[in-house]
Chain A
Amino acid sequence: MIQRPASASFRHFIVALLSLGAVLQTAAWPGAQAVFHTFLVLGLAPEFRSPFIGALWAAAAGWVLEGSLRMYPHMGGTALANMIVCLLAAWTLVQWPPRSAKLYWARMGAFAVLHILLIRGLVLFAAGAYTWGSGPIWTLLLVPLWASVAFKFYFPHHRE
């Protein structure tokens, strides 16, 4: 197994931390918050060496998002959805590594749709009905943007 360089791992960690902070600080702008959230869960978390670490980042993103929104009577649904999608994305990246950026975009788009639906269902189950915001639309519209950034952190060699 080829080890990822330490500098790349550190950079990956810093970007994930900044994304988590952005999720927290952009609570007033739901569109931007949803994009940062999806970027962290689907673009950065699956790339950590350990699926457990990735799941932790995804769960943290979910808890921070729900906590900053202050609109759910019972939290945890988003975090669970994040972990499931993150682990699924990590598994698919190991099993079928993307060969081009466009394939990566398409996969991220599909996972984004799955992510949105899963969040919807689990939050509905955990906290009850809530309104759709503009976040999913912005997330799907900006897939080429955040998926391109995430693809720069994609390092498939350590999985081979």
Chain B
Amino acid sequence: MRQRPWGWNPAGRRRWATALLLSGHVIWILLGRGNSDRWQRALGLLSTPSQGVSAKMMAWRQARTDKVRDLESAQTELRNLRSQAVNLQLAAVRDAAKVQEAEEATRLLGLKKQLPLELKAARIVANVRKAPFGGMIIDQGEDLGLVRDQGVVCTEGVVGRIWSVAKHQASVLPLDAHNASTSVLLSRSRATGVLQGVGPGRAEIRYIGSQELVQVHESVFTSGLDGVFPRGLLVGYVTAVHAEDVELRVEVTLAAQLDRLYLVLILPPSPGMELRPPAGPVAKTETGAPK
């Protein structure tokens, strides 16, 4: 006897159960809006291990992404820094002359403040010292009120004197020129003599008696006797002393680097023998009148 498909037999009951399951879901969906929070919370609790693994994987991926991003930003920054370094190097090369001039100007400014004289600055536009009867050309002349025999100094020491003056330029006779003569004073022996140029950067002192005790490395200053330089400006250093018949021949290396000069200061005409210290602030009495 064949069983009825939807009868109360095992197969029929399974069919009814399946139908109930399906219809229950359909009704659940149609009625809708059932509260499924608890179900989701329970499943979330059960899936905690996988959530932990997933969180670690996400953290690892994030860390890797951060590392890659940091590396890329570091590489970009490195490229920018390299580019900036190249630009800075090029700028430094380009501005080297200006920087050197600025440094020299700064030093000259310091010297100008120390010397209580009215100094004028000038730029050397040509340096032909090594040519016969050569000298240096500065970019100031009669328009600045320059005249012959004004002293020229730089931060290292004395340079020379003005030899001739044109409208806008002047020539300087350096100390190492053969026809240059300057009255000088030795620092320790206090002996005086006349400095004459003998070659580039070198000079000799004449007219020092053989009884004088001159030492090598002794400093040589201007004596102020020639009326061109005041006393006490550094000229150079003694490098050798040769005793001759009645006088000493003292070899001197000039302090000023005449080959590398760019800016110089020009002393006023006839600056006097002694440098007078600059006047300090005027002290006042209790009544307010100057002492």
Interface residues of chain A, those whose CB is within 8 Å of chain B, are 24-29, 50-52, 55-56, 59, 63-64, 66-68, 70, 72-77, 79-80, 83-84, 87, 122, 125-126
Selected from A50, A68, A79, the residue in CB contact (under 8 A) with B25 is A79
Selected from A25, A72, A75, A80, the residue in CB contact (under 8 A) with B50 is A25
In the complex, which residue of chain A has the Cβ closest to the Cβ of B29? A126
Is the C-beta of B39 less than 8 angstroms from some C-beta in chain A? yes
Is the C-beta of B3 less than 8 angstroms from some C-beta in chain A? no
In the complex, which residue of chain A has the Cβ closest to the Cβ of B27? A76
Is there an interface contact between A67 and B40, defined as CB atoms closer than 8 Å?
yes
| 18 A-B contacts (beta carbon < 8 Å) | A27-B54, A28-B51, A28-B57, A52-B17, A55-B22, A59-B25, A64-B43, A67-B39, A74-B36, A75-B36, A75-B39, A75-B40, A76-B28, A76-B34, A77-B29, A80-B25, A87-B18, A122-B29
Q: Which residues of B contact A24 (CB under 8 A)?
A: 43, 46-47, 50
Interface residues contributed by chain B, number (CB under 8 Å):
27
Interface residues of chain B, those whose CB is within 8 Å of chain A, are 14-15, 17-18, 21-22, 25-26, 28-29, 32-34, 36, 39-40, 42-44, 46-47, 49-51, 53-54, 57
Is there an interface contact between B14 and A80, defined as CB atoms closer than 8 Å?
no
Q: Which residues of B contact A126 (CB under 8 A)?
A: 29, 32
Selected from B25, B40, B46, the residue in CB contact (under 8 A) with A70 is B40
A50-B14, A67-B43, A84-B22 given; A27·B50 CB < 8 A: yes
Q: Which residues of A contact B15 (CB under 8 A)?
A: 52
A74–B18 CA distance with the chains assembled, in angstroms? 22
A126–B33 CA distance with the chains assembled, in angstroms? 9
Q: Which residues of A contact B46 (CB under 8 A)?
A: 24
Tell me the smallest distance from the CB of A86 to a CB of chain B, in Å: 10
Tally the A-B contacts, defined by beta carbons under 8 Å. 79
The winner among B44, B49, B50 for most chain A CB atoms within 10 A is B50
Selected from A63, A66, A70, A84, the residue in CB contact (under 8 A) with B44 is A70
Is there an interface contact between B36 and A83, defined as CB atoms closer than 8 Å?
no
Tell me the smallest distance from the CB of B185 to a CB of chain A, in Å: 95
A66–B18 CA distance with the chains assembled, in angstroms? 21
In the complex, which residue of chain A has the Cβ closest to the Cβ of B16? A52
Q: Which residues of B contact A25 (CB under 8 A)?
A: 47, 49-50
Q: Which residues of A contact B14 (CB under 8 A)?
A: 50-52
Selected from A28, A73, A83, A122, the residue in CB contact (under 8 A) with B54 is A28
